[in-house]
Amino acid sequence: MTTDLTQAGDNGRITIDLAALGENWRALAALTGPATECGAAVKADCYGIGVDKGLPALWRAGARTFFVATPQEGQEARRLLPDATLYILNGLYPGASAFYAAHGLRPVLGSAEELREWAGFASETLAPLEAALHVDTGISRLGLSREEAHAAADGTLTGSPFRPAMVMSHLACADTPANPMSALQRQRFLELSALFPGARRSLANSAGVFLGPDYHFELARPGIALYGARAAESAQSRLATVVTLEARVLQTHLLRKGETIGYGATYTATADTRVAMIASGYADGYLRSSGSTDDRPGAEVFAGGKRLPVIGRVSMDMLGIDASALGEQELARGDFVELFGANLPVDDTAERAGTIPYEFLTGLGHRYARRYVGAGSEETG
């Protein structure tokens, strides 16, 4: 009788290839060239792969400048990488200047209020505090307006001209290379960044890297491409697979023609169907929208050398697949199927679910066992 869960087996497993992560960073650094530093966006627990493993792997590959979203993420990144340059993309949280300074975190200042607070703290402490300045060029989320950027440069906002370590903006449509928005944003960025001579410039996210040298400037900050997902509508923007997600078969059974499966009875078998129930659901980050109905196909999984469709709704803890193409003996209770990975790109899974790979990678649940492979992994989860 099995009493040890390590003997009972994993419900599902995530294999994370740290060597592939390093390879992807080096490939992006080669694209940006020697005139541009290639940084790395590592927010949201390193896009779901685990910051404690991902950051050291990127550092070993050669990355030295990192971007996180929150000061708490910055604190953890500083613990892992004492010598890294760390930028906080969400900017300066109210009253948190001393926290940023204590941990060597550089806020990306995106409003007049943030700029005044940071400049005031620097004046009070007489510390040469580094920060980036975010100028809005069209995405209309965070960032100084054109007028505020001019006011920051001439000293109107803070009493003296602000001298950031870096000026940045964010591209809205770079994943669609033909979209004219990127060229418009680049022109606006050239104008506004020129207000701050001597500051480094950063415009390119992952998709921006693939737009070419005109978008690279002094610092690029790729994110999703590092983790193996497609960054733009081009085949070359998808690099080596980093994350492979697998889940266990709970049982197989026959679904007769005309019978339905799952909540809502949304999928009806058009022929006798060999069903395999898989131990993964929306509680594990496998999105409910990945399911199918009689009118709409859902996502697919990979097993036995074939892509197999998800049928019916995805439940909290399980999903059903049509395994008829494998016959009765090729997929059995306890076997694993690939939900996405080297054989089935996460981009394809996300597209079938009506979303983007970011949502799958950052939402991976804690019921999966994790295994790290590649340089520096020590094969631990």
DSSP for 26-37 reads HHHHHHH-TTSE
Measured CA to CA, the distance from residue 31 to residue 35 in angstroms comes to 11
Instruction: Provide the 8-state DSSP code for 238.
Output: -
Measured CA to CA, the distance from residue 166 to residue 157 in angstroms comes to 18
> Which single residue is written with the structure tokens 């199927």?
337
Q: Are the CB atoms for 96 and 121 separated by under 8 Å?
A: no
> Which single residue is written with the structure tokens 């921006």?
208
CA 140, distance to chain mean position in Å, is: 21
What does residue 276 show for φ and ψ, rounded to 5 degrees? -120, 125
Measured CA to CA, the distance from residue 50 to residue 186 in angstroms comes to 33
CA dihedral defined by 288, 293, 297, 298, rounded to 10 degrees? 20
Name 309's bridge partners: 300
Structure token digits, residue 342 = 């080297």
Measured CA to CA, the distance from residue 355 to residue 287 in angstroms comes to 9
Measured CA to CA, the distance from residue 268 to residue 85 in angstroms comes to 55
Q: What are the catalytic residues?
A: 43, 263
Q: Are the CB atoms for 275 and 320 separated by under 8 Å?
A: yes
